Structure 1
Amino acid sequence: MKTWAIALSALLITACSAPPVASPEPTQPEVCEPGASDPPDTAAATEAPPAFYPPPGSNEMLRQALSGAEGLEVIISDVVIPPNAEVPPHYHPGEEFVYIIEGSAIHVEEGQPERMVQAGDALVIAPEAEHAPRGGPEGARAIVFRVHVEGEPERIVVE
């Protein structure tokens, strides 16, 4: 996604700013224009692939039993919290490992001070810890990895 576009930009900048190779005969200055050297049939290959963006909520991407731990499974979710949205208080029957990949959120956990988390931050939530995150001004997206009790619901909402 963005990484592909950044890599392509860096490649173009490097190619355009590389010092010229010494030549025995004088040459015209090289003009670097995007796409000038691309063959016509490869123009479509330079377009970025479409990005995947899931809907708001916890989007389960994988659920798999752990082969070395009887009664446990792994759940990987792509979680999207819209801007300023409040997730209802809940807990999970397992340990939760969170990595924020976009935006920001306020982590609200019972018995803990509120904590701002933003892209690049990671946190661990203990099994059965009640929490209710809130989306920051731009919302948040996180990859969540849970070591979960097999057969239990993914989330238990606290009334």
Structure 2
Amino acid sequence: MLAGCGAILAAAGTTWIQAQTPSTAPSQILATDLVNIPGQEALFFMADWRPNQQLPWHAHPEGHEFVYVIQGAVTFEIDGVGSRTVKTGEMLYVRPDVTHRAQNAHDGSS
């Protein structure tokens, strides 16, 4: 099993509901305006998380979030939808203004 998890997260206008942040915070790799949607931009981040590392409950009021997992697995809990684990090569979409959180699905055991 993999000890870490790599994911590309794309979102716009993030609002954190809790003051927690992951110890290895996602780093922004690109920001671009959405030409056909005035006032919104897409933000692209790369994240490399330790076992069980989490992002707190948050929402992107004006942004669409697309997640692509490049290695490992991430479990998302989405308000009103439930829980879903996204594995290597899979994608997830979260609508704007939907509260959600994420956690590296690997617990650190072998």
TM-score grouping bracket, smaller chain normalisation: 0.5 to 0.7
Among 23, 26, 38, the residue aligned to 1:58:
26
SS of residue matched to 1:88: strand
Partner amino acid, structure 2, of 1:114: S
Query: Structure 1 residues 71 and 118 mapped into 2: Cα distance closer, same or farther (>3 Å)?
Result: same
Q: Aligned equivalents of 1:136 and 1:125: distance in 2?
A: 18
Tell me, which stretches of 5 or more residues in structure 1 are unaligned? 1-54, 140-159
Query: Structure 1 residues 80 and 92 mapped into 2: Cα distance closer, same or farther (>3 Å)?
Result: farther
The equivalences for 1:130-145 within 5 A come to 130-137=99-106
Q: CA RMSD in A?
A: 1.9
Larger radius of gyration between Structure 1 and Structure 2? 1
Query: How many residues get paired?
Result: 85
Tell me, which stretches of 5 or more residues in structure 2 are unaligned? 1-22
1:87 aligns with 2:55: yes
Residue number in structure 2 paired with 1:106: 75
Structure showing the higher helix proportion among its residues: 1
SS of residue matched to 1:89: strand
Residue number in structure 2 paired with 1:119: 88
Structure showing the higher strand proportion among its residues: 2
Offset from partner CA, 1:71-123 (integer Å, 9 cap, x none): 12121111233211221111112111111101111111111121111111101
SS of residue matched to 2:52: coil
Which structure ranks higher in relative contact order (CA pairs < 8 Å, sequence separation ≥ 6)?
Answer: 2
Q: Aligned equivalents of 2:55 and 2:38: distance in 1?
A: 31
Query: Structure 1 residues 111 and 121 mapped into 2: Cα distance closer, same or farther (>3 Å)?
Result: same
